[in-house]
Structure 1
Amino acid sequence: MERMRRASGGQLVYAELRRRILSLELEPGQRLYEPELAATLQVSRTPLREALRLLLAEDLVDQLPTGGMVVRPITASDIEELYGVRAALEGLMTAEAARRLTDDDLAVLQGLVERNARMVGDADDAMRAGHDLHLRIAEVAGHGWARRLHAQVDGHMSRYRPFTNESQERRTAALSEHRAIVEALAARDADGARRLAESHVLAARDVALEAIGTRLAAR
């Protein structure tokens, strides 16, 4: 935490707390106590409060009526909204990628699918491999606004993505969906690629909703 002690503002504190929230290291619904956080991060209250304000503006924490803060809970409504927005953005970018794809781009995407196949047996590795494929398609699309909005949504979805990747059945299905998307891109089928990308995201949404429902019911 030496870098944090030298920081003049809250940006480094914000980045670290954001990482902990998105990785679920700080659990959804967890109360954030300023003295405890300041001691853990070895920072003063001023940069910590600045960081918390940034997290509040990003909807990663909620303010309590008493003035304290908690990590934003994981809810079914957030899943519905986030995955719906992501499906639209992924569809748009995948269709655009089909129009702009070069042979070199295709070779990279096919390589990423094969990497996904090699890692499909491990939840974390498969998640990273699939995510890298989506990010590469966004690069190929070259749609600036869609890519920026996608990055914002994608950050929030880091908290939900592990729930979509827990079962081998879903990881295998996701790999098949990734292959189909890349095949549509190879055929330069923009409409087909759009439909497949949207369907892929919505399938992940359904798995996340089921997982969250099970988690909430167990409480």
Structure 2
Amino acid sequence: MSIDSAYDLVRRHEPRERLSASGRIYDDLRQRILSLELPPGTNLLRTELAAKYEVSQTPLRDALQRLQQDGLVQIFPQSRTMVTKIDIPLIHEASFLRKALETEVVRHLARDASDEVVAKARSVLEMQEAIAQDPSQLRLFHELDEYFHRVLFEGSGRGNLHRLIRSRSGHLDRVRRLQVHSPAKIRSILEGHVAILAGIEAGEEAAAMAAMRLHLFKRPDWVEEFRVAHAEYFA
């Protein structure tokens, strides 16, 4: 699986609304914020953004309003737009939401998953494995990670719930990017996907749910080390 194939897979299946100018801007800015290329506290200048994306103010404004709904930026009318600081209570809320919904999704798939869904999820996993050892492709690895979970939601007929999680997980995802993605960490992520898919394919609900819970597990105090190390990023 080539890197170009991986990019094509993710982009080809973007929701239709993200094919618009505002959707493309939203998606790119969101990824730049989540990857911490635009760290918490960054001021976003609309004139510079409009020039970068070669658009008028209207689609840019629409994209920024969507990011504000996600809690990733704060818009100060007639003044500035700032990338929000990371909010710890919202991290725990998003983590709870993910565990509750994703374990139910894999339970449903283990009971009644089509071969097509399993094959699609496996192809995403194979692409992740193909780029796992290339540090320069970490952003794509994360995008494929998100896409793997989206495939499961859509395969269970619950794509709207994945969009809900996505809109609520910005603070959680930013802290996850602060983690050191050592080869062991990357391997752990991949092994989690392998176990989840194995449970689904075998039709074993309990195994699929247990694999998902382990995959999403975080200690109650897991955020604290990152808050101490990067105090300037947190509210």
The alignment's TM-score, normalised by the length of structure 2, stands at 0.67
Task: Give 1:16 shift.
Answer: 1.7
- Does the aligned pair in 2 maintain the 1:87–1:199 contact within 8 Å? no
Task: Give 1:85 shift.
Answer: 1.4
* Per-residue CA distance 1:152-174 (angstroms, 9 max, x = gap): 34667654553356222211111
1:11-160 alignment to 2 at 5 Å?
A: 12=21, 15-16=24-25, 19-24=28-33, 25-38=37-50, 40=52, 48-49=60-61, 51-63=63-75, 68-123=80-135, 124=138, 125-153=140-168, 159-160=174-175
Task: Give 1:98 shift.
Answer: 1.0
C-alpha spacing 1:187/1:49, structure 2 compared with 1 (3 Å)? closer
* Per-residue CA distance 1:129-185 (angstroms, 9 max, x = gap): 433322222222122543342343466765455335622221111122222111211
Question: SS of the residue aligned with 2:217?
Answer: helix
1:196-215 alignment to 2 at 5 Å?
A: 196-203=211-218, 209=223, 212-213=226-227, 215=229
Question: SS of the residue aligned with 1:69?
Answer: strand
Superposition RMSD in Å: 3.6
| 1-structure distance, mates of 2:98, 2:149 | 11
C-alpha spacing 1:40/1:129, structure 2 compared with 1 (3 Å)? closer
Question: SS of the residue aligned with 1:101?
Answer: coil
Q: Does 1:163 align with 2:178?
A: yes
Which of residues 188, 191, 194 in structure 2 aligns to 1:176?
A: 191
Report the structure number with the largest CA radius of gyration: 1
- Does the aligned pair in 1 maintain the 2:70–2:170 contact within 8 Å? no
The alignment's TM-score, normalised by the length of structure 1, stands at 0.71
- Amino acid in the other structure paired with 1:102: S
Aligned residues between the structures: 208
| 1-structure distance, mates of 2:63, 2:155 | 34
Question: SS of the residue aligned with 1:194?
Answer: helix
